[in-house]
Amino acid sequence: MTLKDQFELMARYNQWMNESLYEAASEMDSADLSRDQCAFFGSIIGTLNHVLVGDTIWLKRFAEHPSDFPSLRYLKTLPRPATLSTILYPEFEELRDARYLMDRTIIDLCDEIEVYDLNHPLVYCNMHGNKFEKRFGYLLQHFFNHQTHHRGQVTTLLNQSDIELAVTDLLAVIPEA
């Protein structure tokens, strides 16, 4: 298995888990989704928005990679979220639609990446304007880890609302040998 294969797997796992989370969250009404549960980003809708904000910020950075990935070109036209807690979509269905599009973009990106792209350094600025230069593969790994971290929080918030997800393990999407 190559590192490219691993990122393709993570993109598909991301999509699968998001579909599961959003399906489970769709059982809740708007008030419950927005209720402050003392999580990092307050509510379920706040946390789901944060994951989309993080994805938008990182994919906009990835769009500056010298390989000029076609899947990311439209992201260059999107405004950068002002903060990590920006609510891009207060309504669940709009957020779900945006998530679907973002997950499709992530899969397309990982399909486009070549192994040599992963070793290329990427220069970017964080939200405070500090400049960094790191290898793209490591940044992509962070990108997926960030999603997993916050999906775990949403899973906990759903569980606290008596909504349980079935299987959440990466193992469920790893192909048979």
Q: What is the pLDDT along the chain (177 residues), one digit of tens a residue?
A: 899 999 999 999 999 999 999 999 999 999 999 999 999 999 999 999 999 999 999 999 999 999 999 999 999 899 999 999 999 999 999 999 999 999 999 999 999 999 999 999 999 999 999 999 999 999 999 999 999 999 999 999 999 999 988 889 999 999 888
Supply the pTM of this predicted model. Answer: 0.95
Query: Of how many residues is the chain composed?
Result: 177
Domains assigned to the chain: 3-161 (1.20.120.450)
Classify the phi-psi angles of 38: left when phi > 0, otherwise alpha if psi is within -120 to 50, otherwise beta: left
Rounded CA separation 47/151 (Å): 8
Residues whose CB falls within 8 Å of the CB of residue 133, separated by 6 or more in sequence, listed in order: 121, 122, 123, 124
CB 15 within 8 A of CB 106: yes
pLDDT in the model for residue 164 = 86
Nearest to 109, CA basis, from 169, 67, 50: 67
Nearest to 158, CA basis, from 12, 13, 48: 48
Helix (H, G, I), strand (E, B) or coil at 93: helix
Chain center to CA of 119: 22
